[in-house]
Amino acid sequence: EAGVTQSPTHLIKTRGQQATLRCSPISGHTSVYWYQQALGLGLQFLLWYDEGEERNRGNFPPRFSGRQFPNYSSELNVNALELEDSALYLCASSLGAVKWETQYFGPGTRLLVL
């Protein structure tokens, strides 16, 4: 069974640009979660999608946005990139909206903002 996949693995942008990160959940999983893991910090919850709807978002500015497609894959968009957005962005999926405890994580996209 294929795990959670993310693309691209690495992304280099300059300040002010936009970044788009993609995530494909495990087959059958309907919930997708996005996290930011900055160097030296814990995982910070960004967004949660389930059945195509945004269920919750963490304490991040509106320039962090995303969507979930009918096939449950998801996209994270970061507009007006700032240097401090440099981090590892992790996507996770779970079987249904109440299965937080069994999230399966992807390998992440490492975003570098210059």
In the complex, least distance from residue 15 CB atom to another protein, rounded to whole angstroms: 25
For another protein, the binding residues in 53-72 under the rule CB under 8 A are: 55-56, 58
The answer to whether 25 contacts another protein (rule: CB under 8 A) is no
Residue 103's closest CA among 35, 12, 19?
Answer: 35
Part in contact with another protein (CB under 8 A); list of ranges 11-19, 65-73, 75-83, 106-114: 106-114
Q: What is the DSSP letter of 16?
A: T
Torsion angle, alpha carbons of 43, 95, 93, 97, to 10:
-60
Q: Is 1 in the site for another protein (CB under 8 A)?
A: no
Element (H, E) at 11: strand 10-13
Distance of CA 66 to the CA centre of its chain: 8
Evaluate the CA torsion angle 85, 49, 11, 28 in order and state its sign: positive
Our finding on whether 4 is near another protein (CB under 8 A) is: yes
Residue from 20, 30, 44, 65 touching another protein (CB under 8 A): that is 44
Contacts to another protein by CB under 8 A: 4, 40-45, 48, 55-56, 58, 90-92, 98, 100-108
